[in-house]
Homo-oligomer: A and B are copies of this chain.
């Protein structure tokens, strides 16, 4: 079907999955890495940086914005994108909340 049965899962599970999904494309990782590297708000110099067509990059930016990782503010004809620092940390803690649940490495024979 291609449709995820979100109603079968908790809000937390759905949110974590949605965030992971947003990170689930190398172009979106590259976008974030570039924003982290220059550590600033940049207008679409990403189109020059990333070897994909401008509409494609625009879509990836929307996907990251949709989960709150990015924010964009209009500045003349261009848009300044940057990382939403509060959300960024929140998301990191959401992921670590999952990862840290692993306690010991009890030998289970696997």
Chain A residues with a Cβ under 8 A of chain B: 4-6, 8-10, 13-14, 16-18, 20-30, 32-33, 36-37, 39-41, 50-52, 71-73, 80-83, 85, 88-89, 91-92, 95-96, 98-106, 108-110
Contact = CB atoms under 8 A, between A and B. Distances in A.
Nearest to A106: B39
Contacts of A88: 99, 102
Nearest to A50: B8
A48 B96 CA distance: 27
Given A72-B110, A92-B99, A110-B73, A6 B21 contact: no
A36 B87 CA distance: 25
A55 to B, nearest CB: 13
A26 B33 contact: no
Contacts of A8: 26-27, 50-52
Given A39-B103, A41-B109, A82-B110, A24 B26 contact: no
